[in-house]
Structure 1
């Protein structure tokens, strides 16, 4: 094997004190070089080096518990961290909340595009994404605590419009993951669930004078990889190490369906049980139209793909996931970010080009808070640090939007056994508030752009109007005053055409959705 091959401990030793370390991959282990993270944490615990790193990842990396960047929550290891969702990394998030390290939260698509901009030698990323949200420097500029003082985001006037400018960042070391490397360091991704930002990140590090390190599951001889399968040429890769136990995600060791090597028969997926989350996913699916190109966000929205498959209509939609899955059925739960039976597996920057340009017909995204103006907060609530992921990019230009969530949070229990929702215990926390804590989606700006917006819960559906929120549907058996308005901080307008929510939502049987007039 060439001199590029080394052990993971040797790879970690290449990271100098104060380095800008970018780690590839996404969410719950998708494309994550986990062996490097394990070894970095172990090395620092043993030697107190390297110190004062700036850690950057496009997507939050972690299992919402111990694995991932939570392992790097070690005093002295990190000085600054930059990402789109620290919610996957609760221990690191706790350090940010305590003010122990600096932290910035930027939209996922911005960081993804920035990899390409850095590779191209551009000064940064200029975009409309983030205007009027918490990332706007007139709000927080993406700074996540009082310790973080440097302004990284700027407002720019160009061609008669306002834009946000996100400056290029240093890339001293980039660690990515692939399936196979040959002796020259050429990389293929045949077993990976996503391509992510790997190519753009490798180019960014190489063109910045940095080091590119690749984790792979397999090695092969020089010249044995089909050139049409090589995603990253060996000339861009400085070092390779092998993790023979490499998994596709933290949950799934290997699925040929996730890597696109096989197609999963639609009939093999077991129906999901009826619960509040499924009711909301079903109601959101009724907003979809035959032939729509859609994005399904994190949480409840991930379940829409499973509901569409259960109803036999998944192939009538083009469902997408920001990590690059185009078509098919997105995975949900711990494997969210992957997909099966997809048409194509794109690189993540290209997917966000499509989103930022308004390519989607509809998106379904989660909400944590909604206020009287239609603003949505998805990233800043409770005491735990989180982030928006791709939410801000996806919601910025999509013509039709569904924001989905339970009506209240914190212990909500709803009985569906009688074919109608009955609240057994109300949630302790209101989600419809006078003013959201921070703005992830700006309702008034959306109205100005002509976006059609729905807010969907298990008991009521609202629309965004010039007068703010308007109640347009309520579930049978729910009292508007007692079960809806009494649990809101404001009183919305009521539509003159207020109607009941579809009764089929609350029954265990298939709804019979066809995207025809009968739906």
Structure 2
């Protein structure tokens, strides 16, 4: 048996001109730095190997000079095929300047491609990418005029239009683990993610390639628990023991045991976000969270939604996830994106995308960079900056609900929040709502045709996607539609009857989302008994804090009553009902409008003498029957007489 534990230089000496190199690493997490540096050194010293194809998924870099950015040398790289370039700006520069051939494909497609290469298939078939810049009828994922070969084509299978992504056999793989024995068996106990190291190793081995693993420590043969071995030694050709400084958990430095599930830490200790425009946006997006929902949060602005959910004590009622495979806990932000504090599980990235692509996500919250009148979004390319799509296309095309978040304008925007009002002190230099976006990362028409729920949340307003394009549905207090919204858009959205954004979003205290999240939905609270001809409204435990709450109740009542085509009797349960003093008059006015339009009679009851008095007075002032019964039997008896 040949010796598998070798030096980095010995392993790198095996690479040849024209090889296809696959490099693991998700952003700054789990990057095989020792191997990358050794390859760069060999090339700078000997000008070999040359003309490599670099295949990667999550952009193994630090958005500056680290990680695979060290491979961005003309002559070393001939072609790059990657999912996310935002952490690899040096490689992006080579691509945009046509010094190399380059492609940007969806991260989930690349992740699945590893498995398909391992199976010996000619490529990967997926609906992901249809209608976006990776669709060959648009750009085919190509970057720059030097890139001419078609890697993506349109096919039809089972009567469904799909995209076919050509397989890329792998010559050499750089992967990373924590421990290895002399036979090359690998465990990942101190790693943030398992990434796709098994799929990459299998794909490389079955392509006739070479698998090189960087590890933190070498252990005795037979000492690894076989159930903890992630990559078996039969798939590994070389093991390189890294220098400690080249095997950091994250390129940002240090080691966080909560990221690797070594310990669990109290989340209560995390500081809440300051009340600014970022928190306003995150708060409004958090209103879309639902109990038991499975949620994906993107990098950047969406990270604030996790912070708000933690502050509002609602994290435990849902499951937050990130595309590299973390499930549960609180997703990390910034350079640590991809990790999670206190995760419930960490699975391979390709398995996570199985779940995502199959429709497993209830809600996805992602960034908003450019948006056109049709609701299409660009987050992947901006002139001289190449961000790449990452998992954005997989996630937005397949999540049941999508919420895009971002400031209304960019570049110098200054916002003040005073007395529950939003004031624009200085407008951003760049418009985000433009007539034409530079690249289609999310197709509004494709989503609208599929009937997807899509919202666009900013600090001053909210839009939703309709079949006709963007509709303005909410406006922040203090914002003038003409002055602060339309004047800074390159197109006019649909405007019908926009409502005020919830006042709680702009107040310094917590929003009590816990109460809102756990309350029974209004649809379930309001039911019509066809046999008795009576509607029953169960408002027990309902909390009405804002005008929007009042408006939501009114809309739910209209949705129930209008299809009936006749006036009906209603019985309302007000036990443990709570209403803020500021909206009592609004509530009573709403009841008056509904009563005139839809009800023959309304019988109300509650065991609370205070509520009978408080609500009774408000109803009496509106000329409505003010008597509120103490028991449901009395109320139902009156309704039946009617």
Assess same fold via TM > 0.5.
yes
What are the residue-to-residue correspondences of 1:335-414 with 2, within 5 Å?
335-414=336-415
Question: Superposed, which structure 2 residues align to 1:178-197 within 5 Å?
Answer: 178-197=177-196
The alignment covers a number of residue pairs equal to 517
Residues in 2 aligned to 1:206 and 1:23: alpha-carbon distance in whole angstroms: 14
Deviations 1:202-234 (A, max 9, x none): 000011100000001011000111111111111
The answer on whether the counterparts of 2:31 and 2:61 sit within 8 Å (CA) in structure 1 is no
Q: How many angstroms apart in 1 are the aligned matches of 2:465 and 2:279?
A: 23
Who wins on radius of gyration, i.e. which is larger? 2
Name the residue aligned to 2:505.
505
Query: Would the aligned equivalents of 2:314 and 2:513 in 1 still touch at CA under 8 Å?
Result: yes
Separation of aligned partners in 2, 1:272 and 1:8: 44
> What value does the CA root-mean-square deviation take over the aligned residues?
1.4
Task: Give the deviation of 1:383 after TM superposition.
Answer: 2.0
What whole-Å deviation, never above 9, does each CA across 1:45-79 have from its counterpart, x for those lacking one?
A: 22111111000111112111111222112121100
Q: Is the 8 A contact 1:252 1:335 kept in 2?
A: no
Q: Which position in structure 2 is the counterpart of 1:117?
A: 116
Q: Which moved more, 1:81-90 or 1:107-116?
A: 81-90
Kindly provide the CA deviation profile for residues 307-333 of structure 1, in whole angstroms up to 9, marking residues without a partner as x. 211211111111110000011110111
CA displacement at 1:273 relative to structure 2: 2.2
Alignment of 1:261-300 (within 5 A): 261-300=262-301
Distance 1:500 1:171 in 2: 55
Work out the CA distance in 2 between the residues paired with 1:41 and 1:417: 53
Q: How far off is 1:280 after superposition?
A: 1.1
The answer to whether the aligner puts 1:97 opposite 2:121 as a matched pair is no
Q: Are the equivalent residues in 1 in contact too, given 2:282–2:301 (CA < 8 A)? A: yes
| Greater mean deviation of Cα atoms: 32-41 or 221-230 | 32-41
Q: How far apart, CA to CA, are the structure 2 residues paired with 1:344 and 1:87? A: 26
Matched residue of 1:205: which SS? Answer: helix
Call closer, same or farther: CA 1:382–1:421 in 2, change over 3 Å. Answer: farther
Alignment partners' CA distance in 2, 1:363 and 1:265? 25
CA distance in 1, matches of 2:496, 2:334: 35
User: CA separation in 1, counterparts of 2:195 and 2:275?
Assistant: 33
- Normalised by the length of structure 2, the TM-score is 0.79
- Measure, in 1, the Cα distance between the counterparts of 2:96 and 2:414: 30
Q: Is the 8 A contact 2:177 2:216 kept in 1?
A: yes
| 1:132 CA drift (Å) | 0.6
Residues 1:431 and 2:432 are matched in the alignment? yes
Q: Which stretch of structure 1 is more off in the superposition, 303-312 or 416-425?
A: 416-425
Checking the alignment, whether the CA contact within 8 Å between 2:449 and 2:467 is kept in structure 1 is no
The 5-angstrom pairing of residues 45-64 of structure 1 reads 45-64=44-63
1:78 aligns with 2:77: yes
Unmatched tracts of structure 1, length 5 or more: none
Map 1:28-67 onto structure 2 (within 5 A).
28=28, 30-67=29-66
Task: Work out whether residues 420 and 477 of structure 2, in 8 Å CA contact, stay in contact via their aligned partners in 1.
Answer: no
Instruction: Note the C-alpha offset of 1:3.
Output: 0.7
Instruction: Report the TM-score when normalising by structure 1.
Output: 0.97
Higher relative contact order (CA 8 A, sep 6+): 1
Change (3 A) 1:224 1:460: same
Give the corresponding residue for 2:534: none
- Report the alpha carbon displacement of residue 250 of structure 1 after superposing the two structures with TM: 1.0
Question: Does the 8 Å CA contact 2:422/2:478 hold for their aligned counterparts?
Answer: yes
Distance 2:140 2:227 in 1: 42
Alignment of 1:456 onto 2:457: yes
2:581 equivalent in structure 1: none
For residues 124 and 46 of structure 2, what CA distance do their matches in structure 1 show?
Answer: 37
Gaps of 5+ in 2: 520-542, 544-548, 550-642
Once the 2 structures are TM-superposed, how far is the Cα of residue 501 of structure 1 from its aligned partner? 1.4
Return the alpha-carbon distance in structure 1 between the equivalents of residues 436 and 231 of structure 2. Answer: 47
Q: Which has the higher helix share?
A: 2
Shift of 1:417: 5.0
Once the two structures are superposed, what CA deviation does each residue of 1:128-179 show, in whole Å capped at 9, x if it has no partner? 0000100000000000100000011010011111110001102000010001
Q: Please report how far the alpha carbon of residue 420 of structure 1 lies from its aligned counterpart in structure 2 after TM superposition.
A: 2.7
For residues 218-255 of structure 1, give each alpha carbon's deviation from its aligned partner in whole angstroms, at most 9, with x where no partner exists: 11000111111111111111000011411111124211
For residues 444-482 of structure 1, give each alpha carbon's deviation from its aligned partner in whole angstroms, at most 9, with x where no partner exists.
111111110000011110001122100011110111000
**1:418, CA displacement in angstroms?**
4.6
Counterparts of 1:382 and 1:272, CA distance in 2: 32
How far apart, in 2, do the equivalents of 1:135 and 1:65 lie? 26
The ranges of structure 1 where at least 4 consecutive aligned residues each deviate by more than 4 angstroms after the TM superposition are none
- Residues 382-440 of structure 1: CA distance to partner in whole angstroms, max 9, x if unpaired? 42112010000001121111011111111112123554322121111110011221111
1:209 aligns with 2:208: yes
Could you tell me which residue of structure 1 aligns to residue 219 of structure 2?
A: 220
After superposition, residues 463-474 of structure 1 pair within 5 angstroms as 463-474=464-475
CA contact (8 A) 1:399 1:450 kept: no
What displacement does 1:2 show?
A: 6.8
Q: 2:42 is paired with a residue of what secondary structure?
A: helix
Cα separation, 1, equivalents of 2:261 and 2:243: 21
Q: Distance in 2 between matches of 1:17 and 1:90?
A: 24
Partner of 2:612: none
2:58 and 2:83 in contact (8 A); partners too: yes
C-alpha contact 1:2 1:183 (8 A) present in aligned 2: no
